[in-house]
Amino acid sequence: MERTTLRRRALAAGTATVAVGALALAGLTGVASADPAGTTAPPVSADSLSPGLLAAMERDLGLDADDARSRIAGEYRAAAVAAGLEKSLGADFAGARVSGAKATLTVSTTDASQTARIAGAGAKAEVVAHSLDRLEGVKESLDRAARRTAPKDVPVWYVDVEANRVVVNAASTAAGAAFVKAAGVDGGLVTVARSAEKPRTFADLRGGDAYYMNGSGRCSIGFSVKRGTQNGFATAGHCGRVGTTTNGFNQQAQGTFQGSTFPGRDYAWVATNANWTPRPTVNGYGRGDVTVAGSTASVVGASVCRSGSTTGWHCGTVQQLNTSVTYPEGTISGVTRTSVCAEPGDSGGSYISGNQAQGVTSGGSGNCSSGGTTYFQPLNPLLQAYGLTLVTSGTPTDPPTTPPTNPPTDPPGGTWAAGTAYAAGATVTYGGATYRCLQAHTAQPGWTPAAVPALWQRI
């Protein structure tokens, strides 16, 4: 099937959303310390995960409700432990992944002396030849070559942390080898694999709901966002350009694209009019909306579910991070490769793991009848690119009817604020001290720098 930008023409649009309980901090606290052993998985109560999410995980992953809850709890813990180990291992870090129903975490390193540290954090250690930095450097060289000239018959390339290699998927070994040679990279670090994959974009204020561009093509809302006092939503860049107008699922006037990037990346945001109130939910398609509590990124192997206006709820796993994929319109980089299916009209829709927003649907190959591979644009880079704040269960979405008698003050002597999207490396002050962000996330009430060393390092 030819890779094309597929915009779904005006159809009766379904809706999709997901409801999940707040991420408990027990699985985050302490993992960035020198001895993070003993970290426990955050509890996930029977009421905290939506029936729609559980049903989709049972259908697509073969997990019953109890197994799904256990897996999500394990994946929350694994993401936090992996982030702490990435920081402490530094240049020796070679990637992390989870596997199995219990979300067993494996962390790779190039330094055998670090295996005790990894095991002490509760992860399985694996010694490999190449660091993640080195492999990502090779991939960045391939990205630069693709920006000069989009490779013919080379749809996808990524770092495979399990294989400890860069993988180039191509229609033929000759095409893949030619791309590697043109990029001038060390072929000894690259595996060229033959693939029939032909990704295309899925173009056709609740995540997963349909919206229409200029009254014709259809895409799906990713997540509700704010920029200052302006409400809006995040979506895919290929769905519209700056100035493109949108109508909602009810065909009523909705908003206008304020920022859009495609190709290169695949993200955009739409500012909506006063008739649309942003909600921290993803459409569960009749099984209950899923509540969005934050945007902590999952690791390779984690379960992930997608909501879109064509096919509703579907689940799978994260296969590779920081993937590059070539569509007919050009190459995009930094997307996440998944085993979740999607179809035209699902573009821009929500990807979520448990209650943590992951990204917006970009494109892929296959369909939801025979199965397929789909890519999503991670959400945190999108928020950072446009200075947006994710609307979560801790974000007020309706203005107060009367001014508060005693307006809230800033955090004790600091600049940290709940609801703010922080990039790795960002600094804040809190309680008279300065902290550096260890992993990108959207701050939630109670996730203060002093309380969550997995996310913040005092400097």
Contact 221, 350 (CB under 8 A): yes
Could you give the CA distance from residue 397 to residue 406 in angstroms, rounded to a whole number?
Answer: 20
Structure tokens belonging to residue 234: 């995040």
Q: Cβ contacts of residue 64 below 8 Å, gap of 6+?
A: 58
**Residue 322 to residue 337: CA distance in whole angstroms:** 8
Rounded-to-integer distance, Cα 454 and Cα 459, Å: 14
Residue among 108, 131, 238, 324 flagged as catalytic: 238
CB 315 within 8 A of CB 349: no
- Please enumerate in sequence order all residues whose Cβ is within 8 A of that of 343, keeping only pairs 6 or more positions apart, or say none: 202, 204, 308, 310, 311, 367, 368
Nearest 5°: the CA angle 133, 139, 144 is 125
The span from the CA of 352 to the CA of 16, in Å, is 12
Q: Cis before residue 263, ω within 30 degrees of 0?
A: yes
* Catalytic residue status for 238: yes
Q: Which of 266, 289, 295, 350 is catalytic?
A: 266
* 264 dihedral zone (left: phi>0; alpha: psi -120 to 50; beta): left
Sign for the pseudo-dihedral over CA of 273, 274, 278, 279: negative
Residue 75: in which H helix or E strand, if any?
Answer: helix 65-89
Coil, strand or helix at 54:
helix
Residue located via tokens 């030819």: 2
347 a catalytic residue? yes
Element spanning 381, H or E: helix 379-386
Whole-angstrom distance, CA of residue 297 vs CA of residue 334 = 13
How far is Cα 327 from Cα 343, in angstroms, rounded to an integer? 15
Residue 383 token pair: 């928020």
Q: Is 289 a catalytic residue?
A: no
Catalytic positions, please? 238, 266, 347
